[in-house]
Amino acid sequence: MNTKRRTFLKGTLAGSAVAVAVGAGLLNPRQALAATWPKSAFDSKDVAGALQGLFNTDLTIPSADIDIRAPDIAENGAVVPVTISTKMKGVSSVSLIVEKNPNPLAAVFNLASNTLPDVSTRVKMGKTSNVIAIVKVGDKTYSARKEVKVTIGGCGG
């Protein structure tokens, strides 16, 4: 009985979150729980859900000032080097999303004020997909994307 009630609550929350989020932006649970791992964002199966979980909105401003360095063609999807950098000032976080992965959100880097917005890491990519970089400056989120072609997938091996 009780467990059913839980699932019901979860279902309604998930459904209403999308509808509410368009007009939201007032409340930000991420700020209140800054030190915890954003589970809902990482568990999300689509890009919009990941953005909702992180920023409470899936609207981002496309920006030409974000530089994504990744190979055009990755021979091995298990190890794709990606560097995200930008010249923007006051960047508080840099997020990395692989659009067509089962869980698109790969990483969120929260930066201190003296940390430069220039991070590199290596990600797994299941198939050819866009790599999306999200840069948060103040309360605005900027995005850029770059397609990486994958010849051997990194998932399922």
Partner 1 sequence: MSDTIKIRATVNGDICTVKSLIKHPMETGQRKDKKTGKIIPAHFIQEVNCEHNGKNVLNADWGVAISKNPYLSFEFTGAKPGDKVTLSWSDNKGEKDSITTQIS
Q: Give contact residues for partner 1 (rule: CB under 8 A).
A: 35, 37-38, 42, 78-81, 98, 101-112, 114-116, 118-125, 154-157
Specify the residue, 12 or 76, whose C-beta has the smaller distance to partner 1.
76
Greatest Cα pair distance in the chain = 54
Specify the residue, 17 or 153, whose C-beta has the smaller distance to partner 1.
153
State in angstroms the smallest separation of the CB of 109 from partner 1.
Answer: 5
State in angstroms the smallest separation of the CB of 17 from partner 1.
Answer: 20
Specify the residue, 79 or 152, whose C-beta has the smaller distance to partner 1.
79
Cβ-Cβ contacts under 8 Å for 36 (sequence gap 6 or more): none
- What is the distance between the alpha carbons of residues 113 and 142, in angstroms, rounded to a whole number? 18
- What is the distance between the alpha carbons of residues 106 and 151, in angstroms, rounded to a whole number? 20
State in angstroms the smallest separation of the CB of 20 from partner 1.
Answer: 24
Cβ-Cβ contacts under 8 Å for 1 (sequence gap 6 or more): none
Sign of CA dihedral 116, 120, 121, 124: positive
State in angstroms the smallest separation of the CB of 80 from partner 1.
Answer: 8
Specify the residue, 12 or 77, whose C-beta has the smaller distance to partner 1.
77
